[in-house]
Amino acid sequence: MKDTVSDFFWQRLHGWGVRVIFGYRGDGINGLLGAMNRADGMIKFVQVRHEEMAAFMASAYAKFSGQIGVCMATSGPGATHLLTGMYDARLDHMPLLAIAGQQARAGLGGHYQQEVDLLSTYKDVASAFVAQASVAPQVRHLVDRAIRIAYAERRVTAIIIPNDLQDEPYVAPPRQHGTLHSGIGYTAPKIVPYEEDLKRAAEVLNSGKKVALLVGAGALHATDEVIAVADILGAGAAKALLGKAALPDDLPWVTGSIGLLGTKPSWDMMNECDTLLMVGSGFPYAEFLPKEGAARGVQIDIDPSMLSLRYPMEVNLVGDSAETLRALVPLLQRKADRSWRDGIQKGIAEWWRVLERRAMTSANPINPQRVAWELSSRLPDRAIITSDSGSCANWYARDLKIRRGMMCSLSGGLASMGAAVPYAIAAKYAQPDRPVIALVGDGAMQMNNMAELITVAKYWREWENPRLIVCVFNNQDLNQVTWEQRVQEGDPKFSASQDLPDVPYHRFAELIGLKGIYVDDPRQLGAAWDKALAADQPVVLEVRTDPNVPPLPPHITLKQAKHFASTLLHGDPNEASTIAGTVKELLSALLPGRKPSKTR
């Protein structure tokens, strides 16, 4: 049989190194799936429960493998379901290719069933490249461009293929006017700034007495270089959420996370520094960076559009973070006075003690911080950790001490709920030998992570390392937003929008053939983690956590404190002594100018 467009399509993707795609079928992609079946395992098809999950997986696959992530859906509803996961990749600068089916060419424009104008639908998220194939000879360059652009610009691209075209015989572009003759292949260039710009940066960094670093996802491959520069400059370093694995937390000058989910040492360092070096980060919250004019700034980013966006930098360097830092090192002078760094280290040592005290504070029944704290010391080497959006992201950001060789990620820029389990599944394909741990709120479980446990049940037996733990924080509340409403708006909890039904997640796991562990006693928590980590199959570890432990920022403004006080006056449904006690204590620990209290 002569190759169809679909046979050729997969051969071309294979030529580009694609070995796995995440998707869900429909008659809009019948031709493509028929051809994939004929190709007999050339590319692995991972069947998800919902197309959005396929796109999250593709995004996470790119994050954990460094390769393009590919997802596929049928025309109409399948294609629109992909969108949120595509935006996840877009906002976190990941290369992702979405493949969507479309109705037959003859019917297009006819308000036909499942006909959606996908070029328009994808135009924003895949603005770097989106095209709908019309004829067979076009398919080759659509694949080549979509993948090359995705890699080169770290962008989302999309190819839409009408279903009747998928079954047509493949025709190579003839050698005639109006045809394209494209090829396969992309290797990233070495991008380093000019020497004179490096010298300008070095002048700023050498003049500073109190240098602060902020590293993000762009520094994940530059750990040694960041350490070298920070040591020379006697600097401390904060980590944006997506850069959590860029520096291990056992280095005494790493202040940990920054921002709403951040730490007090990061907050203090940014307020007191006189020089800021930002590396590969799009960290969004400017109020956590130095006050404009208070520090001289240098930024390194591979993407020029991210430069001088959060803080007006004096020197903006376009370059790969590792290469650029390496080129900077010989130009930097070692700071003889180490008192700035000593001060940072003292603050960090105290902060880890504060975190431990907070984690060990009793709660009803289990303090959610303790869930992350107990995991931290038990994290297996080379573990991959994912988190959902919700209060667990606070504990993930602050309490987990990451060691070298681990990886971790979440939906960062989009901060979407529903990403943790699909991210964990993708990790199994990107890094098959590693143990994976997902932290998830109960709301996020109910949204779609529960359904994706079925995907885990379907595939885990074929994984090289079947260890995958989904830790559910069951607090029967959309807790992160309950607290945001209280603190940011001064509103009481709105039960109608916040209360969640209680679901036995561990029993659901058992029902579908996974292991389930339930814990509602803090004394059993450590043993529960040990059991989950020792299991040779996927586990759902359900922990009954207290919604009255506030996931608040490391500092709280007086305005927010006032809002909160007015909340209590208005009468919050949870206005019990626990909540008042917990929060008052926390406020007293965190308000600027106050000393941390003893118990929290």
Ligand X SMILES: Cc1ncc(C[n+]2csc(CCOP(=O)(O)OP(=O)(O)O)c2C)c(N)n1
Footprint on this chain of ligand X (rule: CB under 6 A)? 389-392, 415-418, 441-444, 473, 475, 477-481
Q: Which does 415 bind (CB under 5 to 8 A by kind): Mg ion, ligand X, none?
A: ligand X
Q: Which does 416 bind (CB under 5 to 8 A by kind): ligand X, Mg ion, none?
A: ligand X
Q: Which stretch binds Mg ion (CB under 5 A): 155-163, 273-281, 373-381, 478-486?
A: 478-486
Q: Tell me whether residue 301 or residue 452 sits nearer to Mg ion (CB atom).
A: 452
Contact 528, 508 (CB under 8 A): no
Q: Which stretch binds Mg ion (CB under 5 A): 54-62, 358-366, 436-444, 485-493?
A: 436-444
Q: Which does 389 bind (CB under 5 to 8 A by kind): Mg ion, ligand X, none?
A: ligand X
Q: In 3D, which of 302, 335, 324, 312 has the Cα closest to residue 198?
A: 324
Cβ neighbours for 538, distance < 8 A, ≥ 6 positions apart: 456, 457, 460, 466, 467, 468, 469, 470, 509, 514, 515
Smallest separation, CB 420 to ligand X (Å): 9
Q: Encoding tokens for residue 519?
A: 């814990």
**Residues 563, 485: Cα–Cα separation, whole Å:** 10
Smallest separation, CB 441 to Mg ion (Å): 4
The answer to the question of residue 479 lying near Mg ion (CB under 5 A) is yes
Smallest separation, CB 371 to Mg ion (Å): 12
End-to-end CA distance of the chain: 71
Q: Encoding tokens for residue 554?
A: 């490391």
**Residues 462, 566: Cα–Cα separation, whole Å:** 55
How many residues form the binding site for Mg ion (CB under 5 A)? 6
Q: Which stretch binds Mg ion (CB under 5 A): 264-272, 277-285, 297-305, 467-475?
A: 467-475
Q: Which does 332 bind (CB under 5 to 8 A by kind): Mg ion, ligand X, none?
A: none
553, exposed or middle or buried, with CB in 10 Å at 0-12, 13-18, 19+? buried
Smallest separation, CB 482 to ligand X (Å): 7
Q: Tell me whether residue 52 or residue 301 sits nearer to ligand X (CB atom).
A: 52
Q: Tell me whether residue 316 or residue 480 sits nearer to ligand X (CB atom).
A: 480
Smallest separation, CB 288 to ligand X (Å): 19
Contact 154, 186 (CB under 8 A): no
Member of 144, 374, 442, 542 binding Mg ion (CB under 5 A): 442
The answer to the question of residue 394 lying near Mg ion (CB under 5 A) is no
Residues in the chain: 600
Smallest separation, CB 84 to ligand X (Å): 7
Q: Tell me whether residue 46 or residue 481 sits nearer to ligand X (CB atom).
A: 481
Q: Tell me whether residue 110 or residue 573 sits nearer to Mg ion (CB atom).
A: 573
Q: Tell me whether residue 282 or residue 443 sits nearer to Mg ion (CB atom).
A: 443
Neighbours of 130 (CB within 10 A): 23
Q: Which does 437 bind (CB under 5 to 8 A by kind): Mg ion, ligand X, none?
A: none
The answer to the question of residue 542 lying near Mg ion (CB under 5 A) is no
Smallest separation, CB 308 to ligand X (Å): 28
Q: Taking each helix axis as running N to C, give the angle between helix 83-91 and helix 51-65, from 0 to 180 degrees, rounded to the nearest 10.
A: 20
Member of 475, 482, 560, 567 binding Mg ion (CB under 5 A): 475
Give the side-chain half-sphere CA count within 13 A for 155: 20
Neighbours of 1 (CB within 10 A): 6
Q: Tell me whether residue 352 or residue 494 sits nearer to ligand X (CB atom).
A: 494
Q: Which does 88 bind (CB under 5 to 8 A by kind): Mg ion, ligand X, none?
A: none
Beta strands in 425-560 (DSSP E): 436-441, 468-474, 515-519, 539-544
Q: Which residue is nearest to ligand X (CB)?
A: 441
Q: Which does 481 bind (CB under 5 to 8 A by kind): ligand X, Mg ion, none?
A: ligand X
245, exposed or middle or buried, with CB in 10 Å at 0-12, 13-18, 19+? buried
Smallest separation, CB 443 to ligand X (Å): 3
Smallest separation, CB 450 to ligand X (Å): 11
Contact 164, 185 (CB under 8 A): no
Q: Which residue's structure tokens are 């260039």?
A: 189
Q: Which does 130 bind (CB under 5 to 8 A by kind): Mg ion, ligand X, none?
A: none
Q: Taking each helix axis as running N to C, give the angle between helix 321-328 and helix 195-207, from 0 to 180 degrees, rounded to the nearest 10.
A: 70
Smallest separation, CB 417 to Mg ion (Å): 10
**Residues 171, 215: Cα–Cα separation, whole Å:** 48
Neighbours of 312 (CB within 10 A): 11
Q: Tell me whether residue 256 or residue 418 sits nearer to ligand X (CB atom).
A: 418
**Residues 521, 53: Cα–Cα separation, whole Å:** 33
**Residues 420, 393: Cα–Cα separation, whole Å:** 10
Q: Tell me whether residue 298 or residue 440 sits nearer to ligand X (CB atom).
A: 440
Residue 160 CA, chain-centre distance (Å), reads 27
Q: Tell me whether residue 301 or residue 374 sits nearer to ligand X (CB atom).
A: 374
580, exposed or middle or buried, with CB in 10 Å at 0-12, 13-18, 19+? middle
Beta strands in 171-274 (DSSP E): 211-215, 236-239, 254-257
Binding mask 143-182 for Mg ion (x = CB under 5 A): ----------------------------------------
Q: Tell me whether residue 501 or residue 593 sits nearer to Mg ion (CB atom).
A: 501
Across the strands, what pairs with 182? none
Smallest separation, CB 480 to ligand X (Å): 3
The answer to the question of residue 441 lying near Mg ion (CB under 5 A) is yes
**Positions in the binding site for Mg ion (CB under 5 A):** 441-443, 475, 477, 479
